[in-house]
Amino acid sequence: MKIEGHLRMPLLITADWHVGSKPFSALAYDILVDDVKDKKVKDIVVCGNILQGLSGRKFEQSELLEPRLDRQIDLAARYLKQLPSSTKIAMISGVNEEATKNRYKGYDTLKILAKMIPNATYYGQVANLKLGDRFTLMAAHGQGRSPYASSHPIQRAYERLIVQPDIFVMGHFRELIHMFVPPNRLLIEPGTLARETIYDKCRGITAQVGWYILHDYDEEHDEIEVRFPRVY
Domain boundaries, the chain: 5-227
Please give the Cα distance from 145 to 120 (Å, whole number).
Answer: 29
Report the DSSP beta bridge partners of residue 43: 11, 88
Tell me the backbone φ, ψ of residue 15, rounded to 5 degrees: -165, 165
Tell me the pLDDT tens digit for each residue of 82-121. Answer: 999 999 999 999 999 999 888 877 789 999 999 999 999 9
Q: What is the pLDDT of residue 196?
A: 75
CB 75 within 8 A of CB 20: yes
Amino acid at 52: Q
Which stretches of the chain drop beneath a pLDDT of 50? 59, 61-62, 148, 150, 198, 202
- Whole-number pLDDT of residue 229: 94
The architecture of the domain spanning 5-227 is 4-Layer Sandwich (3.60)
Q: CA 214, CA 60: separation in Å to the nearest integer?
A: 43
Rounded distance between C-alpha atoms, residue 38 and residue 151, angstroms = 36
- CA distances 186 to 90, 105, 124, 139, 152, Å, are 19, 37, 22, 12, 14
The pLDDT of residue 144: 75
Residue 172 gets the label, from left (phi > 0), alpha (psi -120 to 50) or beta, of: left
